[in-house]
Chains A and B, each alone.
Chain A
Amino acid sequence: EIVLTQSPGTLSSSPGERVTLSCRASQSVSSHLAWHQQKPGQAPRLLIYDVSKRATGIPARFSGSGSGTDFTLTISSLEPEDFAVYYCQQRISWPLTFGGGTKVEIK
Chain B
Amino acid sequence: QVQLVESGGGVVQPGRSLRLSCVASGFIFSNYGMHWVRQAPGKGLEWLAVIWHDGSEINYADSVKGRFTISREDSKNTLYLQMSSLRAEDTAIYYCAKAMSPQGWDWFDPWGQGTLVTVSS
A residues touching B (Cβ–Cβ < 8 Å)? 34, 36, 38, 42-46, 49-50, 55-56, 87, 89, 91, 94-101
Q: Are B59 and A45 in contact (CB under 8 A)?
A: no
Closest A residue to B108 by beta carbon equals A46
Q: Which 6 A-B pairs have the closest CB atoms?
A: A96-B47, A46-B109, A43-B111, A98-B45, A49-B107, A95-B61
Residues of A within 8 A of B111 (CB): 43-46
Partner of A43, one of B35, B62, B112: B112
Enumerate chain B residues within 8 angstroms of A96, measured Cβ to Cβ.
35, 47, 50, 105
Q: B-side binding surface: helix, strand, loop or mixed?
A: strand
28 residue pairs bridging A and B, Cβ less than 8 Å apart:
A36-B45, A36-B108, A42-B113, A43-B114, A44-B45, A44-B95, A44-B108, A44-B111, A45-B110, A46-B107, A46-B108, A46-B110, A49-B100, A49-B107, A49-B109, A50-B107, A55-B109, A56-B109, A87-B44, A87-B45, A94-B59, A96-B47, A96-B50, A96-B105, A98-B47, A99-B44, A100-B44, A101-B45
**Measured between C-beta atoms, what is the minimum distance from B52 to chain A in Å?**
13
Q: Interface of chain A, helix or strand or loop or mixed?
A: loop
Number of A-B contacts (CB under 8 A): 57
Q: Interface digits, B71-104 against A, CB 8 Å rule (1 contact, 0 not)?
A: 0000000000000000000000001000010000
Task: Give the residue of A42, A43, A91, A99 whose beta carbon is less than 8 angstroms from that of B107.
Answer: A91
Who on chain B is nearest to A32 by CB? B105
On B, residues with C-beta under 8 Å from A are 35, 44-47, 50, 59-62, 95, 100, 105-114
Selected contact of A34 from candidates B44, B46, B62, B107, CB within 8 Å: B107
Determine if A43 and B113 form an interchain contact, defined as CB atoms under 8 angstroms apart: yes
User: In the complex, A12 Cα to B43 Cα: how many Å?
Assistant: 19
What CA separation (Å) do A89 and B59 show in the bound complex?
A: 17
Contacts A43-B95, A43-B114, A44-B95: A98 and B109 contacting too (C-beta < 8 A)?
A: no
